Amino acid sequence: MNVTIVDYNSGNISSVINSFKEVAKEKIKIEVSSDLDKIKSSDKIVLPGQGSFKSCVDALNSIDGLFDTLNEFTIINKKPLLGICVGFQMFADVGYEETETQGLGWISGEVSKIDNQNGKFKLPHIGWNELNIVKTSQIFRDIKNKSHMYFVHSYEFIPKDKNVISATTDYSSSIVCSVEKENIFGTQFHPEKSDKEGLKIIDNFLNL
């Protein structure tokens, strides 16, 4: 099996690469590429993202054909994809960071700024927060409810269909931090920075 981490110049993804390679060991081939043919022939894809919603969408759109290739992989061919942080937020129809920006449109919803209740909650939200697992998800196999994951974000993804939500976290309000819709998986937290539990989530995705 081969898994491609999509490198579209969306910030430093070295910790994502290192964690996936650590979990995969020699059993699964991990590649890092923006080559369209490599992506098409992959069994699974990881879509990371750091920075703003707009900067990540712009970086993705700057590679000719990448948007359509990801769409074909995920929506038409229904192969598994894991989005991390802004990679997960880009599933939405639209994001409002910097300026109104169209997302991938895979899971209907929007990405808007966390309500910090007039400064009561610091933004960005940085650090460890508790998971509230709200539905059985394949990537949460053997993950205990109330496990702690590592977050760095100021914006939240609000999907229209609440049935796609697999976990939330409480910070200012109940924030969606994980979704599962058929072959599409996403986490707002960083599994690659979330210690053993995070590595287990990566392992679960690789072993789907």
- The confidence score (pLDDT) of residue 196 equals 97
| Cα 132 from chain centroid (whole Å) | 17
The answer to whether residue 190 is catalytic is yes
Say which amino acid occupies 101: T
- The CATH number covering residue 152 comes to 3.40.50.880
Distances (CA, A) of 161 to 92, 108, 127, 142: 11, 7, 27, 26
- The confidence score (pLDDT) of residue 119 equals 82
3-state secondary structure of 15: helix
- The confidence score (pLDDT) of residue 65 equals 97
Q: Which of 95, 86, 177 is nearest to 132 (CA)?
A: 177
Catalytic annotation, pick one of 85, 110, 177, 180: 85
HSE toward the beta carbon, residue 46, CA cutoff 13 A: 30
The answer to whether residue 85 is catalytic is yes
The answer to whether residue 153 is catalytic is no
Domain count within the chain: 1
Catalytic annotation, pick one of 97, 156, 180, 192: 192
- The confidence score (pLDDT) of residue 109 equals 98
Q: Report d(CA 78, CA 9) in Å as an integer.
A: 25
Q: What domain range includes position 73?
A: 2-206
Catalytic annotation, pick one of 56, 97, 125, 190: 190
Backbone angles phi, psi at 66, to 5 degrees: -65, -45
Q: Report d(CA 81, CA 78) in Å as an integer.
A: 9
- The confidence score (pLDDT) of residue 26 equals 85
pLDDT along the chain (208 residues), means of 10: 95 93 94 97 97 95 97 98 98 96 98 90 94 96 97 97 97 96 98 97 97
